[in-house]
Amino acid sequence: MTINLKNKQEIISKFGKNEKDSGSIEVQVAMLSQKINELTEHLKNNAKDFQAKRGLLMMVGKRKRMLVYLKNNDLEQYRKLVKSLKLRG
């Protein structure tokens, strides 16, 4: 369930400030969203994989906390990120 290097570099170039910016909150949220999407697809086929389900719930909680942090510190960037990742309706 890991993101391969090509996908990781695409996410960093799209959401990061430069090519080596893997630590900014926007990149971290985008990577977590990618992992969540992959794990969701896995759980559609493997409904009884309870460890994966627990990991998914932990990732969703972590992403939620990161989004709350971003919303409190930079509302415009939060709105831009949520819109580009299509997280809220």
Which pLDDT score is estimated for 52? 97
Is the pTM for the entire model greater than 0.85? yes
pLDDT score recorded for residue 1: 57
**Does position 34 have pLDDT exceeding 70, yes or no?**
yes
Q: State the average pLDDT over residues 6-28.
A: 94
Please choose, from the candidates 70, 58, 57, the residue with its C-alpha nearest in 3D space to the C-alpha of residue 27.
70
Residue 42 predicted with pLDDT over 60: yes
What pLDDT is recorded for position 79? 97
Interatomic CA distance for residues 39 and 82, integer angstroms: 20
- pLDDT on residue 88: 87
Flag whether pLDDT at 3 surpasses 70: yes
Q: What are phi and psi of 72, to 5 degrees?
A: -70, -30
The contacts of residue 17 (CB under 8 Å, 6+ apart) are 24
* Torsion region of 83: left, alpha or beta (phi above 0 gives left; psi -120 to 50 gives alpha): alpha
